[in-house]
Amino acid sequence: MNMKQNILLRSICVVGIALAAISCSKAYLDTAPESAESPATIFETTNNAKMAINGLAKMMTTQYLSVQGMNGEGTIINWYNNYMGNDSQKCALTGWANTINSNWHESPTSNYDIYPWYYYYKLIGNANQVIANIEESEGSEGERDFIQAQALVYRAYSYLQLVQFYCRRWKDGVVPNDGIPLRLDTSTGDLAKSNVPAVFAQIYKDLDDAISLFNASGITRASSENYLPGLDVAYAVKARAAITREDWATAADCAAKARAGYKLMSKDEYINGGFNTKNSEWIWSVYEAEDQTLYYYSFFAYIGSNSSASICRTYPFAITKQLIDLIPETDSRRSMYLIPTEEEFGQVNKTTGNAPSSSELYKRAKKDYASKLYSTSTIYQYMQFKFQASFMPGGGCFPLFRAAEMAFIEAEAKCHLGGQDAAVQSILNEINKEYDSAYNCTKTGDDLLNEVKIYRRFHLWGEGQNWFDFKRWGDTMERISIAKGGSWHSTFSFVAGPEDKNHWTWIIPNRESDYNKLINQMAE
């Protein structure tokens, strides 16, 4: 196989991901061997096509590029949104400085630049195979409609992720040479970029078509299949796309529809649930079975407070002092983080934030959070206990979309629409009173929008939206070191505005531009 055949966009065959099981059981997502069968055989029946959709779900928790840790959505959430964001820190993991400080944006040969492109176009390529072949599958029209709708959601979601990484923010307007290729069929030839408005138009079209097909199918996603798209997922993806596109009316409408019928998780579920098992609030999630774990490459192996993985035991995942200080002490969600008292702060290392074993903070952590810690874990100030592995070294399910995010999207959109302060206040009270009985939002105007943003950052902390949010808002990232009153190791301390870091935009990798003659990665 030559290098041109080896690049991602030429590797779109569904047959290699067709799966043997569909149910959410221990056998869930068992992979079948590579097959030489044609798409006509794979899509001969709707039952076969369902396996291909299951394959798309499996791709969200599969290792790629033969690189440690690069696996599906877990890597996107951790490395590209949490680690690079403004509100979470990997304590003293200074060996990862280039990743944590977003220094790979303009390195088109780096695996860090390549990975999101590789992964999402791989999803798109396989979704395109489903879309192109499902009409010939033997089965009911309703089944064909439902399966096609699911594939359209995968494609729309993947393009939304790509446009957030590799294109400028919506508020920047149409920028020359900014865009990504829109591959909408199974062809693999050279293809020019489509600009950002065209990409969003296609995302909207895919989701509108999916919504229509879901409704026409007469089929409802089974509650056990939270790892697969359904009608509510289509609305959720469109709500996230609309808020990114600053289409406030569509964002508010779709967010409300996406969360209809979902109950916000209880205080106990939020604080003690570990965010590793589906509950009544999860709209779409990634499923990982214990007998199919990715071991040390798993999602929780990079952030779980109880993970046995060395990167978690030695370098815990932590919230920033700058964010937690914005939240009242009456809020019970603060208990999920190891916030030092003034006396305890005096005993921690002022460079790293590490609490020595003789310190009071160390003793309190080992006593009060013993059930949420691995026995040999090091202790850092502000370390988190929100995310915990359900099995070692770092396995478990995790949410991609949940009802609270939709509520915050609705609230943010209504702030921009104007004249809806009371509705926004009501949404904030609905979410926050569960954790802080003293909370009562009465803010208006810009202060109200700022309140939405602060509590969105806090409530969705660690769930993979932080870097995306700061980019789309155009807000300055400011990481304050411990020595200057913050909680960051000095290696990760910086201030960067929306014009910095290549406008927080990843450059198209050489693995595309070297073989696609219609792609010019440099600005014209």
Q: For the residues of 322-351, what is the DSSP string, one character each?
A: HHHTTS-TT-GGGGGB-PPPHHHHTTS-TT
| Comparison of pLDDT for 67 and 350, the residue scoring more | 350
Confidence grade of residue 329 (pLDDT, cut at 50, 70, 90) = very high
pLDDT digits (tens, 9 = 90+) for 140-154: 999 999 999 999 999
Return the SS3 of 170. helix
pLDDT surpassing 50 at residue 26: no
Site of tokens 């909370």: 439
Residue 25: pLDDT band (50, 70, 90) is very low
Closest of 25, 55, 14, 57 to residue 400, by C-alpha: 57
Q: Of 112-121, 289-298, 360-369, which range is least confident?
A: 289-298
How crowded is the C-beta side of 41, counted as CA atoms within 13 Å? 8
Label residue 40 by pLDDT band (50, 70, 90). Answer: confident
Q: What is the pLDDT of residue 209?
A: 99
Any residues with CB less than 8 A from the CB of 212 and at least 6 apart, and which?
none
Rounded CA Rg of the chain:
23
416-453 pLDDT, tens digit each? 999 999 999 999 999 999 999 999 999 999 999 999 99
Q: What is the pLDDT of residue 94?
A: 98
* pLDDT tier, 66 (very low <50, low <70, confident <90, very high otherwise): confident
State both tokens at 75.
């890597």
- Locate 128 and state its tokens: 């395109």
Count the Cβ atoms, other than its own, within 10 Å of residue 408: 24
pLDDT, mean of residues 335-362: 97
Give the model's confidence band at 7: pLDDT under 50 very low, under 70 low, under 90 confident, else very high: very low
Query: Which run of H or E residues covers position 209?
Result: helix 196-217
Per residue in 313-324, pLDDT tens? Answer: 999 999 999 999
Pairing of strands 398-402, 477-478: unpaired
User: Residue 38 has what pLDDT?
Assistant: 74
Nearest to 335 by CA among 314, 305, 312, 303: 305
Would you state the pLDDT for residue 42? 86
Contact 297, 69 (CB under 8 A): yes
Q: Is the omega angle on the peptide bond into residue 393 within 30 degrees of 0, that is, cis?
A: yes
Q: How far is CA 337 from CA 46, 57, 385, 453, in A?
A: 47, 32, 6, 20
Q: Give the pLDDT score at 37.
A: 61
Better pLDDT: 141 or 31: 141
pLDDT beyond 70 at 523 = no
What share of residues in the chain are helix, strand, coil (percent, to 5)? 50, 5, 45
In the prediction, which pLDDT does 172 show? 97
Q: How far apart are CA 154 and CA 158, in angstroms?
A: 6
Within the chain, how many helices (H) and strands (E) appear? 21, 6
Which structure tokens are listed for 169?
């923010």
pLDDT at 36 (0 to 100): 45
The alpha carbon of residue 454 and the mean position of all alpha carbons in its chain are separated, in whole angstroms, by 19
Task: Tell me the per-residue pLDDT of 157-205, one tens digit each, with 9 for 90 and over.
Answer: 999 999 999 999 999 999 999 999 999 999 999 999 999 999 999 999 9
Secondary structure of residue 486 in the 3-state scheme:
coil
Strand, coil or helix: what is 399? strand
Write down the H helix ranges in 433-480.
445-459, 466-473
User: What integer pLDDT is reported at residue 35 of this predicted model?
Assistant: 40
* Residue from 101, 91, 93 nearest 492 by CA: 101
Which of 183, 166, 263, 254 lies closest to 223 in space, CA to CA? Answer: 263
pLDDT bin (cut points 50, 70, 90) of residue 68 is confident
Alpha-carbon gap, residue 131 to 144, rounded angstroms: 10
Task: List 286's β-bridge partners, or say none.
Answer: 398
* Domains of the chain with bracketed CATH: 3-263 (1.25.40.390)
Q: Extract the tokens encoding 67.
A: 């690189």
Q: Which two tokens stand for residue 354?
A: 């590490």
- Return the pLDDT at 14: 44
Q: Please give the Cα distance from 281 to 259 (Å, whole number).
A: 8
What is the average per-residue pLDDT within 354-368?
98
Lowest-confidence region among 50-59, 60-69, 387-396, 496-505:
60-69
Question: What per-residue confidence (pLDDT) applies to 29?
Answer: 28
What's the mean per-residue pLDDT of the chain? Answer: 92
Query: Is the Cβ–Cβ distance between 395 and 436 less than 8 Å?
Result: no
For 254-301, how does the pLDDT look when each residue is reduced to its tens digit (9 = 90+)?
A: 999 999 999 999 999 999 999 999 999 999 999 998 988 889 989 999
